[in-house]
Amino acid sequence: MNVGKAVALFCCETTFLDDSLLMVYMNKQSNPTRAVMDISSIGYAILATILALALLLLVVYIRGIIYRRKAAMANLDHVRMEGKTVIITGASAGIGKETARDLARKGARLILGCRNIPKATKVAEDIRNTTGNEDVHVKQLDTSSLASVRKFANEILVEEERIDVLILNAGIAGLDHRNLTADGLEYTMATNHFGHFLLTNILLGLIKKSRPSRIVVVASSALTSTLRVDNLNFEKGGFRSFKSYAQSKSCNVLFTRRLADLTKGEDVFVNSLNPGFVSTEIFDKSGGLMVGKFVRLFVLFTGRTEVQGAQTVIYVAASEEGGSTTGKFFKECKSSSKADALLNNEELAKQVWEASERLVDLQPNEKHY
């Protein structure tokens, strides 16, 4: 049996091709010569396709190596943060975990707001062991639940005297279908935007009292220019997994712009950032063809490490620049124009803010601007 026929037969046996192909190959009663020629041609075509895919994966892998080597580093080992309290949401894995580890090394008091307490407890213990900083604490927080956000925030107000840095990091990459939370909010939007919007508003009074202080918003470069303020929860249709993610991250950027305006001149520095394309758990529960299949596979070959992904977060949270500029978007540890189209849209930022207030039912005692 030649190579072409062997490949075709193998593909049939492993269901890559329809069973009828195997029948054509085995059926030599009518025209055995023609059958062998057809299957041989198909076999060579399959082999060529496999080789082309292998070459593509090699190119992607090489580009991934280059992308990782180009990752910017915060280079802030000299910075100390003793006496400063930092809250990080979604710090039980990925970028949040490595950001927490770095800031712990700098001496900061850390509060990890996490949904999965057993997992976060193990991470906190690991951070204590690797940094020598015992001032690392875990509290329950599910940003997809407004009740959980309010409980967490009100406990912080009672227990903490200051908040020097609030890092809004928790997020998901997008679900396969439009799912609603108990509050009637689309799940991706609730986790990535609405929960953080409510949390920041409730804590803003204490953040102002702790000034100079910072609010660091982990966004993305996956932004959309077709955001509809009257359809933030996709109740009017148009839901797609990747679209919900891009919309939530666009809201992060617009939220940054509006909050920077509202706190201007008060020594509260609000900035958003793109951590890069990072291989983390964020894609594990995502759905849809684009995010759930393609991106999850692609990130294995090209994604940066969690430590690399945390660098811009660390930079905005601890650098001199992050504490002297507001309303900006950062990428590769420096200010970027990538999100200027959104950051410069003052009216849209205001509309998203007002819509978010209504959708989270922001109470008068939760407003501090």
Cα 290–chain centre separation: 15
Q: How far, rounded to the nearest angstrom, does the alpha carbon of residue 227 sit from its chain's CA centroid?
A: 18
Selection from 323, 324, 358, 104 nearest residue 232 by Cα: 358
Identify whether 212 is preceded by a cis peptide bond (ω within 30 of 0).
Answer: yes
Q: 157, 160, 119: which is closest to 140 by C-alpha?
A: 119
- Residue 167 bridge partners (DSSP): 88, 216
- Contact in structure between 260 and 369 (CB atoms under 8 Å): no
CB 274 within 8 A of CB 330: yes
Q: Cβ distance 167 to 100 under 8 Å?
A: no
Helix H or strand E segment including 139: strand 136-140
Q: Do the beta carbons of residue 327 and residue 343 sit within 8 Å?
A: yes
C-alpha dist (Å) from residue 223 to 127, 136, 251, 340, 355: 33, 33, 9, 11, 19
**CB proximity list for 209: less than 8 A, separation 6 or greater:** 162
Q: Which one of the listed residues 25, 187, 245, 315 is annotated catalytic? A: 245
For 206-227, give one letter per residue: b (16+ CB within 10 A) or e: bbbebeebbbbbbbbbbbbeeb
C-alpha angle 104-160-258 in degrees, rounded to nearest 5: 85
Active site residue 245: yes
Is the CB of residue 232 less than 8 Å from the CB of residue 188?
A: no
Residues forming the active site? 245
